[in-house]
């Protein structure tokens, strides 16, 4: 059994945020080619300070994902309040993707060559997944989504759209085509 984590001191919290901001900017610019010492330098910290917060690059990528998932969970809670099941689903989907478009480091962390340490962000992932499952099920039950649509399909759609957020990729057109294919008979 592990001891409960204490809240970080203010300076440690600032250092952690500086590392995440620096890593986010560098991963967005250069992808996996970024080295840990470059991140520390951009954050204005020593490498040892970075390693006190993140054991390796995968832990850092997980933290970037975790930050975005927390914001997405807030969006999902708001979307879930919509009385219309399709509006709730579309609000979550579009909000998630709009947020991802503005965060290249998040897209890289999800779609890049290295698997993040999901165990480091299990709570954030579970919270968002739980709300997404409820939104999807409500839309399926109302006939607004295909009867065979599952919450896992939400992940497939978002990853497909994110893969089209590079260069001239037209992710909004991609999303429109997908939405037309998954919409239930109740329109």
Q: In terms of Cα–Cα distance, which of 151, 71, 148 is closest to 106?
A: 71
Q: Does 89 lie in the same domain as 165?
A: yes
pLDDT digits (tens, 9 = 90+) for 59-71: 888 888 888 888 9
Note whether residue 24 is domain-resident.
yes
* Length in residues, the chain: 187
Write down the pLDDT at residue 166: 75
Tell me phi and psi for residue 145, to 5 degrees: -120, 155
Note whether residue 187 is domain-resident.
no
Highest mean pLDDT among 4-18, 80-94, 170-184: 80-94
Q: Does 144 lie in the same domain as 62?
A: yes
Please give the Cα distance from 63 to 108 (Å, whole number): 13
Q: Does 134 lie in the same domain as 162?
A: yes
Is the pLDDT assigned to residue 6 strictly greater than 70? no
Q: Does 150 lie in the same domain as 83?
A: yes
pLDDT digits (tens, 9 = 90+) for 103-131: 888 888 888 877 777 787 888 889 999 99
With contact defined as beta carbons under 8 Å apart, do 149 and 182 qualify? yes
The tally of domains found in the chain comes to 2
Through-space distance between the first and last CA atoms of the chain, rounded to whole angstroms: 51
Q: Does 62 lie in the same domain as 49?
A: no
Note whether residue 2 is domain-resident.
no
Q: Which residues make beta-bridge pairs with 183?
A: 145
pLDDT digits (tens, 9 = 90+) for 45-54: 999 999 998 9
Please give the Cα distance from 102 to 88 (Å, whole number): 21
pLDDT digits (tens, 9 = 90+) for 69-79: 889 999 999 99
Q: Does 70 lie in the same domain as 44?
A: no
pLDDT digits (tens, 9 = 90+) for 135-185: 999 999 999 999 999 999 999 999 999 988 876 768 888 899 899 888 888
Note whether residue 3 is domain-resident.
no
Write down the pLDDT at residue 8: 67
- Structural domain including 46 reads 8-54
Average pLDDT over residues 30-53: 90
Q: Does 74 lie in the same domain as 115?
A: yes
Confidence of residue 186 (pLDDT cuts 50, 70, 90): low
- This prediction's pTM: 0.80
Q: Does 162 lie in the same domain as 79?
A: yes
């Amino acid at each position: 059994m592990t001891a409960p984590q204490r809240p970080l001191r203010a300076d440690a919290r600032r250092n952690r945020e500086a590392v995440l901001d620096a890593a986010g900017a560098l991963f967005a610019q250069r992808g996996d080619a970024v080295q840990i010492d470059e991140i520390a330098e951009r954050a204005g910290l020593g490498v040892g300070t970075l390693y006190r917060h993140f054991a390796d690059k995968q832990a850092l990528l997980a933290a970037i994902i975790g930050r975005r998932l927390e914001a997405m969970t807030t969006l999902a809670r708001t979307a879930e309040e919509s009385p219309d099941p399709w509006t709730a689903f579309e609000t979550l989907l579009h909000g998630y993707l709009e947020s991802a478009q503005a965060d290249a480091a998040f897209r890289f962390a999800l779609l890049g060559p290295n698997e993040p340490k999901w165990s480091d962000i299990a709570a954030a992932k579970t919270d968002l997944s739980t709300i997404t499952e409820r939104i999807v099920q409500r839309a399926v039950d109302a006939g607004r989504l295909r009867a065979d649509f599952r919450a896992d399909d939400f992940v497939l759609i978002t990853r497909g759209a994110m893969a089209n957020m590079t260069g001239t990729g037209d992710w909004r057109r991609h999303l429109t085509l997908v939405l037309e294919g998954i919409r239930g008979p109740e329109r």
